[in-house]
Amino acid sequence: MKESYVDLINIRRKVFVEIAKMAYEDTDLNELEKAAYNIIPGEVAKYRENIFRERAVVEERLRLTMGLNVRSMSEFTRVTEGIDEVNVDETKFIPDLVNVITFACEACPTRALKVTDNCRKCLAHPCTNVCPVNAVSIGKDRAIIDQDKCIKCGRCKEACPYSAIVEYQRPCAAVCGVNAIESDHLGRAKINQEKCVSCGRCIIQCPFGAIADKSQIYQLVKALKTKKNMYAMIAPSFIGQFGALTTPEQIVEGIKRLGFKDVVEVSLGADITTLHEAKEFLQKVPNEIPFMGTSCCNSWALMVKNKFPEQYEYISDSASPMVETAKYIKKNDPDAIITFIGPCISKKLEALREDVKDFVHFVITFEELMGMFVAKNIELSEIEISKEIQDASTLGRGYSVAGGVAEAVKKTAQLLDPSREINVESASNLADCVKLMFQAKAGRKNGYLLEGMACPGGCIAGPGTLASTTRVKKAVEEFKNKAPFKTPLDNELIDEELKK
């Protein structure tokens, strides 16, 4: 989340509340035609050049939140077009997950080095002297960069004593670690879905709010109204997300008041994943595989699958904490319908996988959950509850902070086999993950446990969060120390067989 994008964040969240309300109140979906007027009231534009465009963009957000595709602007289509298909009480995924709302996109120019009016046409003009392709010359008012010649090495920018040269980049493309942002025929951002791993960073980075993912909150609320066996599991980064006064226990109780039968910490699944990965590492590295990558971040795993297909088998076979937690719930209640609540949008894709879809039925983000709380008028900080949450170990609860997964696996592996020395390395953004994999591919990480995470700082910086990473990091640390168990090996909820 980019906290300083205040207006964009608020619009996005108001849309979640609107859709959740419609689901809870069984509103006739034809009312969707009017919903944009609730979110953008009045007749004066506040965000864009006119209110019609503001509402049109909100309408696309409403559609995406319903799970529908963005409309094409070249033909007449109602806001409610296709609504029957998604007016159901189960997940209905219409690809793609991450979408550009084309007419919200301002078609920002692509990457370039530009001279600003800080340029003083200085005598030394190092910008021209350091250019390897002779693309910089001194013009009438300032230095000029010949964009046809420029190879974007950035040396002129480094050399300028006045900070007069800036490197300009589209915000969406700048944060995309897999170069999935391309341009359409009008220069607007277009996502190459073959390359995209749905990490969601472009969604939170676009300053015009032109990229959004699909949501399942409407179908989830419908399911909560009609089905009994609804379970929620909440990712380790949930601590501190829902207001500075709200305790973890109040969050869990609040989720139950939305209609869930029970809530389980995904940190429990993290403990199970840790045990699997620790044993797998001890067993396979270095004899069967040269190094092992962690498996919990879906975007990281997808990136390796796409870009390093030969090394994909070195990613741990262990299921992610989301899946392990769901399996735990299923074991106790085979009819359970399970919702994952987390900071992540990539999990929305992971849940659709053949081997996962029978365990995880819905995936929503913390932001979307907050929308549900508001739609249902739940005041979390006023809930009275004394029961403590005791599902997971200190190490499991640390999964959401970069480095936490590797630490848990390393410590547990060393408890299982104290004679082993284990090297770990972590990367926590996709570009760094790619670099790390190139090194590993070249054989420079042999014997290592590699932890890859797509979000900078780990899951606590996921696109579906509400609180700043510093705030959550502190809160997670406190919650870790309150864990009833130190390591996964002490966790009484886990089968003893797995600990051997």
The residues binding other proteins (CB under 8 A) are 3-4, 6, 9-10, 13-14, 17, 242-246, 370-371, 373-374, 377-382, 466-468, 470-471
Amino acid identity at 146: D
Shortest gap between Cβ of 251 and other proteins (angstroms)? 11
CA nearest neighbour of 104 among 44, 58, 65, 39: 58
377/386 with CB nearer other proteins: 377
Shortest gap between Cβ of 3 and other proteins (angstroms)? 4
| Residue 72 DSSP symbol | P
Record the tokens describing residue 158, joined without a space.
Answer: 């480094």
Shortest gap between Cβ of 248 and other proteins (angstroms)? 15
4/74 with CB nearer other proteins: 4
13/48 with CB nearer other proteins: 13
Shortest gap between Cβ of 250 and other proteins (angstroms)? 11
243/403 with CB nearer other proteins: 243
Distances in Å between the Cα of 102 and the Cα atoms of 56, 185, 189, 206 are: 11, 11, 8, 12
CA distance 292 to 274: 13
Record the tokens describing residue 439, joined without a space.
Answer: 């090194």
**Which helix (H) or strand (E) element contains residue 427?**
strand 423-427
Shortest gap between Cβ of 332 and other proteins (angstroms)? 31
102/246 with CB nearer other proteins: 246
97/472 with CB nearer other proteins: 472
Q: How many CB atoms lie within 10 A of CB 307?
A: 18
Shortest gap between Cβ of 166 and other proteins (angstroms)? 25
371/463 with CB nearer other proteins: 371
Amino acid identity at 480: K
Distances in Å between the Cα of 438 and the Cα atoms of 293, 314, 432, 442 are: 13, 13, 10, 6
3/167 with CB nearer other proteins: 3
CA distance 462 to 466: 9
Q: Could you please report the per-residue DSSP string of 312-368?
A: GGGB--SPPHHHHHHHHHHHH-TT-EEEEEES-SHHHHHTTSTTTTTT--EEEEHHH
CA distance 120 to 165: 11
Shortest gap between Cβ of 245 and other proteins (angstroms)? 5
CB of 200 closer than 8 Å to CB of 435:
no
Shortest gap between Cβ of 18 and other proteins (angstroms)? 12
Question: Which region, left, alpha or beta, applies to residue 64 given φ > 0 means left and ψ of -120 to 50 means alpha?
Answer: alpha
195/471 with CB nearer other proteins: 471
Q: How many CB atoms lie within 10 A of CB 11?
A: 19
Shortest gap between Cβ of 247 and other proteins (angstroms)? 12
245/442 with CB nearer other proteins: 245
SS3 call for 35: helix
Shortest gap between Cβ of 388 and other proteins (angstroms)? 21
